[in-house]
Amino acid sequence: MLKKPFFSRYQKHAETRDDHYDNELRTRYYKASFNQLFESAEDLLRNDAKVKVTSVSKDHGEIAAEVNAGFPAFLIMTIITVKPYQTAVDFYLSTERFSVTGANPALKKEILRLYDKLNKAHTFIGTGKNAE
């Protein structure tokens, strides 16, 4: 298990991955096909008032968007099929905003908000599968 960097709250980005030191920021897996999840995720982002989708690449499984959750940020959502009807979703969110208290907690909160929306739309089957 990786340890949390001391100054992580001051990082201007937040990301999810299988082996993330923060269990809440581990890759999430859903019981859905790639097409189902990709279309649902794109609709979810397009219908979110805080998000403006700027680029969609189904071939690469990526959706890029500008996020305004009280501060401007740039989001890349990556969707990958691991097995039939097991699809992984990762986020990378970054900002140029400086905050005395640190931008990372706000970025993490936004990622968790988006994961929560996905959890309501699809069957969540676990986190960090490849890290165990």
Q: Is residue 62 part of a domain?
A: yes
Across all residues in the chain, what is the average pLDDT? 89
Secondary structure element (H or E) that encloses residue 115, with its range:
helix 104-121
Q: Is residue 5 part of a domain?
A: no
Question: What pLDDT digit, counting tens, does each position of 102-123 carry?
Answer: 778 889 999 999 999 999 999 9
Q: Is residue 4 part of a domain?
A: no
Q: Which residue type occupies 34? A: F
Q: Is residue 17 part of a domain?
A: yes
pLDDT value at 90 more than 70: yes
Split into its structural domains, the chain has a count of: 1
Nearest to 92 by CA among 118, 68, 65, 119: 65
- Report the C-alpha dihedral over residues 110, 115, 119, 123, rounded to 10 degrees: 180
Q: Is residue 3 part of a domain?
A: no
Q: What is the CATH number of the domain that holds 102?
A: 3.30.310.220
Q: Is residue 45 part of a domain?
A: yes
Question: What pLDDT digit, counting tens, does each position of 67-85 carry?
Answer: 997 789 999 999 999 999 9
Q: Is residue 124 part of a domain?
A: yes
- On whether the CB atoms of residues 70 and 82 are closer than 8 A, the answer is no
Q: Is residue 92 part of a domain?
A: yes
Percent of residues in the chain assigned helix, strand, coil, to nearest 5: 30, 35, 35
Q: Write out the residue range of the structural domain in which residue 52 sits.
A: 11-131
Question: What pLDDT digit, counting tens, does each position of 1-29 carry?
Answer: 455 665 676 778 899 999 988 899 999 99
pLDDT value at 53 more than 90: yes
Q: pTM of the full predicted structure? A: 0.89
